[in-house]
Amino acid sequence: MAKSPLVEALRTRPWARRGLSLVSVVLLLGGLGLVGYPFFTNVYQGQVQDRLVRQIASPELKQAYRERKVQYGDSLTRIRIPRLGVDAVVVEGTTPSALRAGAGHYPQTALPCDEGNVAIAGHRTTYGRPFGNLDQLRTGDTIELSTPLGSCTYRLHRDPFVTEPTDLGVLEPGPERMVTLTTCHPKGSAAKRLIVQATWVKDSTAA
Amino acid sequence: MRIVHRLGAGIVAVLVVSLMLVSPAHAQAKKEIETVTRPESYAATALARALELSVLNLNLTVASSGIEINSSPSAKATGAGVALLPNTTSEAKAGAGESSAPPKACALNLPLSIINVELACGETSAATTGDGPQALGRGTVAAIDIGGGQLLQLLKPVLDLLKPVLGTVLAVVQPVLGGLQLPLVGQLAGLDPATDPVSSLVDKLTKATSLVSIKIGNSTAQGKTTAAAVSSEGNAQGAQIDVLPGLALGGSPLLSIVVGSAKATATFDRNGGKADATFDGAIATVKVGLPILGGNILELPIKLGQPIRLLEGTPLESEISLGAGSTKRESDGAVSSVADGVKIHLLKGISGGVKLELAHAEAAVGGLTRLTSKQVVVDPIPQLAKTGGEPWVPMAGAGLLVAAYLTRRTLVTRPAGARQPAEG
C-alpha cells in the first residue's frame, strides 16, 4: 500500500515528531480533566462541607441567624432526607460560588422553619450531588431542616414534578408553611427543573 | 486504507467534540436602549416695527413688538403702542411649564409735543407648554397726527422763504411733477409772485387739519414651536401717510403715501436640522396731487433703488425710498431675514422735516437636532438556580482522549516484517 507523503514526513522528521508528541500529551491531559470534572467537584464540595459543619455549630453563626444577617456562602441550615440518605449543610445564596457547597437557600424566600415557603436549590451531578436522586421521593416522604435556633419537619404533599427554568412561581409562598427543593433535570442537563414541595408538619427544639 | 480510516475517525471525533462544545442557549431578553448623546437646542427671535418717527428732535417708535424663545425652555414677548411709554407697553415671560398673558396696555390720545397719538396699545402672551415655547407680541396705534394747531406757526418760515424764490420753486417743481406742471404754471401765470400765490397758498393751507397724518397697522412678532419645527415671524402692517391732509375741499391731502406690509420669517426643522429664512418686502405707492389747482391725482410706485424726490430744491422737498430685504445664513446653520420698509423724509426744509421709517421686520432662528445612540442590552430572564452539569463536558473529555490516541498512533512506526503483503 502506498504510504501518505504527509504521514511519512510527520514520522520521520524530528521536529514534527516532537510537536505531535506534545499535542498528544495535551489532548490526553485535557480529556482526563474533563472526564474527571465531576469527581474533582465532589472532592472540593467535601472540603467545603467540613468547614460548614463546624461553622453551623458556632455561636457567631447563631447570633447572625438570630439577627437575620447570615452572609452569602455561610451555613444556614442542615437538610436531611431520610429516604435518600441526604445529609448536607445548606448555605445562604444560590450564586454559582455559593452552590459549590452543594446546596443553597434562595435568599428571597422564607428562612428555614419560618412562615412562608423555604426554597433550597441543590446540585444533581456535581459538587457532592446532594439532590441527585430527588426524583425518587414520593408523597409522604419527610424532609428535616435543622437551624441554629431549632428544627422542623416537612412532609411531601405531592410527587416531584418537572417545570421550566423560568417558573419562578414555585418559590411563591402558599397557604401553609412549606419547603421547596429545586434541581436541574434531566441529570447532566439544565434544560428543565425538578421540583419537590413539602408541607410543614412539626417543629422540634434546638439541637 | 488504515490511514484513511484513522483520519476519518479523527475527524468524526473532532466533530463530536465541536458539537458538544456548543453551549445551550440561555434564555435572554433583548431590549434596545436609546441614549441621548446630544440634546436638542434651538433659539428664535423676531421683531417688527410699524413706524420710527423723528420730528423736531422728538423720536418715537410706534407699534413695535418682539419675541424670543429657546429650548431652555423659555419664552419672552414685548408689545408696545409707543415704546418707552409704560402705559402702552406689555411684557410677558414664561419658563418651563409656565404661561403668561398680562392685560392689554392701552392709552388714549397721548399728546407728545406736536405729535398726537390716538389709542396706542401693547399686547403680549408667552407660554412653554405642549411641544415647546410660544410667544406673541403686538403693538398697535390707531392714528398719529403731526402738527395740528401749530401748523401755521411751523409753516411761517416756509412761507417767508417762498416769497422771493417762487420762480425758482416753480422751475424746480416743473420736471418733477411731470404732467401736472402745466396746470400749475398756468394757474400761477400772471399772478403777482410776491403775494397772490402765497396768499392763495396760505388760504389753502389753513384748511389742512395737520402737517402729517398717519394711519398705521399693527406690528406683530410671533414665535411658535411644534413637534416638527420652530419658527419666528415679524410682520409690520402697512400705513397710509397723508401730508397736509384736508388741504382740498374734499379733504384730500397734498401728498399721500401708501405703504404695504413687510414680513420676515425664519423656520428650523426639528427633525431634519435645517433652517430657512424668507422675507416679503413692503411696497409703496405715492399719490401726488394738487387738488387746489384742480389737477388729477398721480400715482407713482416706488421701486427698489429708485427713490422718488418731490419738490426738490424747495423747503417742501420730500424723498421716499424703498428699503431692501435680505436673508443670511451663518456658518453654524442659523438663518436670519430682514424686510426693510420704506424710508420717508418729508418737508426737509421745515425745521428738519419729518422722518419716518415704516414697515420693518426681522426674524432669526437656529438650532441643533437631538442625537441618540442605540444600544442592545441583553437582560437574562430570571430563572430557578442552575444546578445541573454541562452535558458537553464528559463528551468533550472523551473526544479529547480519542484525539490523543489517534495522534499517538500516527507517531508509531511499524516494526520490521509486520503484515507483509501476500506474494503469489
Q: Which residues of B touch A101 (CB under 8 A)?
A: none
Is B382 in the A-facing interface, judged by CB distances under 8 Å?
yes
Instruction: Please name the residue of chain A whose CA is at the shortest distance from the CA of residue B421.
Output: A1
Mind telling me how many Å the CA of A91 is from chain B's nearest CA?
A: 14
What's the pTM value of the predicted model, to 2 decimals? 0.56
- Nearest CA to A1 out of B126, B420, B345, B355 is that of B420
The more confidently predicted of residues B299 and B22 is B299
Mind telling me how many Å the CA of B377 is from chain A's nearest CA?
A: 20
Distance CA B95, CA B75 (A): 7
With a cut of 90, say whether residue B126 has pLDDT above it: yes
Range of the domain at A159: 36-204
Domain total in chain A = 1
Is B391 in the A-facing interface, judged by CB distances under 8 Å?
yes
Which residue shows C-alpha cell 431675514?
B337
**Residue A15 within any structural domain of the chain:** no
With a cut of 80, say whether residue A199 has pLDDT above it: yes
Show which of residues 246-265 on chain B sit within 8 Å of chain A, judged by CB atoms: none
Task: Give the tens place of pLDDT for each residue, A139-190.
Answer: 999 999 999 999 999 999 999 999 999 999 999 999 999 999 999 999 888 8
Lowest pLDDT segment from A21-35, B74-88, B165-179:
B165-179
One-letter amino acid of B364: A
Residue A170 CB: number of other CB atoms within 10 A? 18
Task: Give the tens place of pLDDT for each residue, B320-338.
Answer: 888 889 999 999 999 999 9
- Read off the pLDDT of each residue in B345-364 and give the average, rounded to a whole number: 86
What pLDDT is stored for residue B194 in this prediction?
42
Which of the residues B23, B387, B411, B413 would you substitute to probe the A interface, choosing the one with the greatest number of A C-beta atoms within 10 Å?
B387
**Residue A5 within any structural domain of the chain:** no
**Residue A193 within any structural domain of the chain:** yes
Task: Give the tens place of pLDDT for each residue, A89-111.
Answer: 999 999 999 999 999 999 999 99
Which residue shows C-alpha cell 433659539?
B43
Q: How many CB pairs under 8 A join A and B?
A: 119
CB B354 within 8 A of CB B211: yes
Confidence class of residue B423 from pLDDT cuts 50, 70 and 90?
very low
Is B421 in the A-facing interface, judged by CB distances under 8 Å?
yes
Mind telling me how many Å the CA of B399 is from chain A's nearest CA?
A: 7
Task: Give the tens place of pLDDT for each residue, B262-283.
Answer: 999 999 999 999 999 999 988 8
Q: Which residues of B touch A45 (CB under 8 A)?
A: none
Of B386, B389, B408, the CB nearest to A38: B389
What pLDDT is stored for residue B143 in this prediction?
85
Cβ distance of B387 and A35 shorter than 8 Å: no
Q: Which residues neighbour B412 within 8 Å (Cβ) at sequence distance 6 or greater? A: none
Give me the residue spans of the domains in chain B: 2-21+389-411, 41-372
Sign (positive or negative) of CA dihedral B22, B23, B29, B32: negative
Confidence class of residue B176 from pLDDT cuts 50, 70 and 90?
very low
What pLDDT is stored for residue B136 in this prediction?
97
Distance CA B392, CA B355 (A): 96
What pLDDT is stored for residue A63 in this prediction?
92
Instruction: Please name the residue of chain B whose CA is at the shortest distance from the CA of residue A14.
Output: B411
What pLDDT is stored for residue B195 in this prediction?
43
* DSSP-derived secondary structure letter, A95: S
With a cut of 60, say whether residue B125 has pLDDT above it: yes
Confidence class of residue B157 from pLDDT cuts 50, 70 and 90?
low
Instruction: Please name the residue of chain A whose CA is at the shortest distance from the CA of residue B17.
Output: A31
Is A32 in the B-facing interface, judged by CB distances under 8 Å?
yes
Is B401 in the A-facing interface, judged by CB distances under 8 Å?
yes
CB B285 within 8 A of CB B361: no
Distance CA B259, CA B255 (A): 13
Q: Which residues of A touch B391 (CB under 8 A)?
A: 188-189
Is A162 in the B-facing interface, judged by CB distances under 8 Å?
no
Which of the residues B383, B384, B386, B393 would you substitute to probe the A interface, choosing the one with the greatest number of A C-beta atoms within 10 Å?
B384
Q: Which residues of B touch A124 (CB under 8 A)?
A: 387-389
Is B29 in the A-facing interface, judged by CB distances under 8 Å?
no
Instruction: Please name the residue of chain A whose CA is at the shortest distance from the CA of residue B382.
Output: A166
Write the CATH number for A167: 2.40.260.10
What pLDDT is stored for residue B300 in this prediction?
77
| Strand ranges for B170-228 from DSSP E | 212-216, 219-225
Cβ distance of B381 and A166 shorter than 8 Å: yes
What pLDDT is stored for residue B259 in this prediction?
86
What pLDDT is stored for residue B7 in this prediction?
56
Mind telling me how many Å the CA of B371 is from chain A's nearest CA?
A: 38
What pLDDT is stored for residue B323 in this prediction?
82
Cα–chain-centroid distance for residue B244? 36
Mind telling me how many Å the CA of A45 is from chain B's nearest CA?
A: 14
- Grid cell of B261 as nine digits: 406690509
Is A31 in the B-facing interface, judged by CB distances under 8 Å?
yes
Question: Which is it for strands B284-288 and A142-147: parallel, antiparallel or unpaired?
Answer: unpaired
CB B334 within 8 A of CB B44: no
Mind telling me how many Å the CA of A132 is from chain B's nearest CA?
A: 10
Cβ distance of A104 and B385 shorter than 8 Å: yes
Cβ distance of A165 and B384 shorter than 8 Å: yes
What pLDDT is stored for residue B131 in this prediction?
86
SS3 of A181, please? strand
Task: Give the tens place of pLDDT for each residue, A23-74.
Answer: 888 999 999 988 888 888 999 999 999 999 999 999 999 999 999 899 999 9
What pLDDT is stored for residue B311 in this prediction?
77
Confidence class of residue B169 from pLDDT cuts 50, 70 and 90?
low
- Read off the pLDDT of each residue in B210-224 and give the average, rounded to a whole number: 88
Cis bond before residue B73 (omega within 30° of 0): yes
What pLDDT is stored for residue A134 in this prediction?
96
What pLDDT is stored for residue A142 in this prediction?
96
Show which of residues 91-120 on chain A sit within 8 Å of chain B, judged by CB atoms: 94, 96, 99, 104, 106
Q: Which residues of B touch A11 (CB under 8 A)?
A: 410-411, 413
- Grid cell of B333 as nine digits: 446653520
Distance CA B397, CA A28 (A): 9
Of A121, A123, A189, the CB nearest to B384: A121
Cβ distance of A125 and B389 shorter than 8 Å: yes
Lowest pLDDT segment from A79-83, B249-253, B284-288, B345-349:
B249-253
**Residue A91 within any structural domain of the chain:** yes
